[in-house]
Amino acid sequence: MGPEVDNVETEFTAFPAQADVVVIGGGIIGVCTAWNLAQKGAKVVLCEKGRIAAEQSSRNWGWVRVQGRDVRELPLMFESRKLWARMNELTGAETGYRVCGIAYLNANAKEQHQRAAWAAKAVPLGAGSRVLDSTETALLLPEAARRFVGALFTESDARAEPQLAVPAMARAAQATGVAILQNCAVTGLVREAGKIIAVETERGRIACPKVVLAGGAWSRLFCRKHGIALPQLKVRSSVLRTAPLHGPEISASARHYAFRKRLDGGYTIANGWISSPEITPDVFRLFFKFLPEFLSERDYLRPHVSGQFLQEWRQERDYLSGGNAPFTQERILDPAPQIRGLRQAMRHLARDVPVFADAKVAQSWAGFIDGTPDAIPVISEVKSQKGFYIATGFSGHGFGIGPGAGRLMAEIVAGETPVVDPSAFRMERF
Ligand SMILES: Cc1cc2nc3c(=O)[nH]c(=O)nc-3n(C[C@H](O)[C@H](O)[C@H](O)COP(=O)(O)OP(=O)(O)OC[C@H]3O[C@@H](n4cnc5c(N)ncnc54)[C@H](O)[C@@H]3O)c2cc1C
């Protein structure tokens, strides 16, 4: 089971049968898109098949970072960071946003060199990151018992509480006029003369000229039914949280672990840079599209085989032949955590930073990260389907960039000049 997510009340007396825009998906991307659109005066309905933020948007590490991003994302991340800095004020709630600094700890010269190469590209663009030597790293993380070769450090990077922040944004969106429906899957698009005229939901039809798909790991399946080829795969990522303990303020990661202090005094901990692509039927269909990414990440990939292969094969068969089961039966994607990887993380962390040696594990969970072949999102109109827009594929870093991405998607939908150049995120690049 996933972490406990703050509740968002969404009781409606009347089903909204019409909207200017329907947003599919109540993760951070759908919520921020809907919120921004409502601020522009649009009548917005957001449909979530399960609960607000129950999938990736509550299960993530809670890192709000510029550091390590693809440089094409940096201008949007800078905008997002400005929004995060005001998020408590904008939502009228505690989102856990704290500037704490984020460090990537380097075990050897190769890692130090890779991080320095990123800094050489990103610092001139305004990233504000620094490459630290061994002594500077020891001063930054005095709790460490191990001597690192160095670190990449961004002092202005931050953390926030996913389980509080996204529900707070959803309530703010409601206050701005967004109608949020939970347990309401969108099962298809209704088109006439090449244009979208409505969406079909499990509770009835909503007439609308524009639809934004922010369906996270489900986006590809939804698109396939409508003849849109969205290359997207899933990576299983496991996390644990500890009971409160006195430890570092900064968030940091090394090859086998990553930690982030929580508002409740505990830590969110995961297995560093190791990632587990899930072997599903799509891996075979998309193998060559993802091959360059697989090769560049090969040191960190641990492919995972599970019942998910069969589950997805059945879901595709049902949905593509006219059923709705995937969206109405699997309300919340809740993969099992990989306990071995988490134990390994705790072992390495306790050895390197001994304050974690007595940490009590309070809970563990996993989430499916949705990724694209170039590991940056799609935030785009779909040119072949008038009125259809996609914001998905955030490839493991959509929480931090979410507020900015929601703003950008809303501006594209509204036909306004976008806050940053969106061309890197266009759908047609595939
Ligand atoms: C373990 C883990 C750690 C991560 N760590 C970080 C981090 O530290 N920092 C960071 O920036 N990012 C991180 N990420 C990535 C980040 O969480 C995601 O990029 C981001 O949450 C994606 O948001 P989303 O709204 O696109 O998707 P989601 O949060 O997955 O939301 C999609 C929603 O759409 C709904 N949906 C799908 N189809 C339909 C339909 N047909 N009808 C109705 N509803 C539908 C789903 O039920 C779901 O709730 C991490 C992710 C994971 C899993």
In a domain, 16, yes or no: no
Q: Which atom of ligand 1 is nearest to the CA of 332?
A: 47
User: Rounded to 5 degrees, what angle do the CA atoms 48, 52, 56 make?
Assistant: 100
**380 falls in which pLDDT band (50, 70, 90)?**
very high
In a domain, 197, yes or no: yes
pTM recorded for the entire structure: 0.97
Give the residue from 131, 155, 179 where a domain finishes: 155
Q: Which residue has the tokens 């430890």?
A: 247
Distance in Å, CA 352 to ligand 1 centroid: 31
In a domain, 411, yes or no: yes
Whether 96 and 227 share a structural domain: yes
Distance in Å, CA 111 to ligand 1 centroid: 29
217 DSSP 8-state letter: G
Tokens of 160: 């926030």
Backbone dihedral region of 314: left (phi > 0), alpha (psi from -120 to 50 degrees) or beta? alpha
Whether 132 and 212 share a structural domain: no
Distance in Å, CA 131 to ligand 1 centroid: 31
Query: What is the tens place of the pLDDT at every residue in 78-92?
Result: 999 999 999 999 999
Distance in Å, CA 314 to ligand 1 centroid: 22
- Evaluated on CA atoms 137, 138, 140, 145, the torsion sign reads positive
Which among 137, 157, 141, 139 is positioned nearest to 149, based on CA atoms? 137
Whether 95 and 119 share a structural domain: no
Whether 219 and 119 share a structural domain: no
pLDDT at 302: 87
Whether 412 and 351 share a structural domain: yes
Higher pLDDT, 138 or 322: 138
Residue 25 Cβ contacting ligand 1 at under 6 Å: yes
Whether 114 and 257 share a structural domain: no
In a domain, 12, yes or no: no
Whether 51 and 111 share a structural domain: no
In a domain, 1, yes or no: no
- Domain of residue 128 covers 102-155
Q: Is the pLDDT of residue 12 over 80?
A: no
Q: Is the pLDDT of residue 273 over 90?
A: no
Q: Is the pLDDT of residue 268 over 80?
A: yes
Distance in Å, CA 408 to ligand 1 centroid: 17
Residue 62 Cβ contacting ligand 1 at under 6 Å: yes
Which of 48, 60, 332 gets mutated to test ligand 1 (max ligand atoms within 8 A of its CB)? 60
Query: What is the tens place of the pLDDT at every residue in 279-320?
Result: 999 999 999 999 998 898 888 888 888 999 999 999 999 999
Whether 150 and 222 share a structural domain: no
Give the residue from 112, 127, 155 where a domain finishes: 155
Whether 356 and 341 share a structural domain: yes
In a domain, 322, yes or no: yes
Query: What is the tens place of the pLDDT at every residue in 228-241?
Result: 999 999 999 999 99
CATH number, residue 384 = 3.50.50.60
pLDDT at 297: 86
In a domain, 201, yes or no: yes
Which of 28, 56, 201 gets mutated to test ligand 1 (max ligand atoms within 8 A of its CB)? 56
Whether 151 and 250 share a structural domain: no
Distance in Å, CA 30 to ligand 1 centroid: 9
Give the residue from 140, 155, 170 where a domain finishes: 155
pLDDT at 276: 84
Count structural domains, the chain. Answer: 2
Tell me how far apart the alpha carbons of residues 83 and 90 are, in angstroms, rounded to a whole number: 8
Whether 117 and 85 share a structural domain: no
Whether 161 and 150 share a structural domain: no
Residue 55 Cβ contacting ligand 1 at under 6 Å: yes
In a domain, 44, yes or no: yes
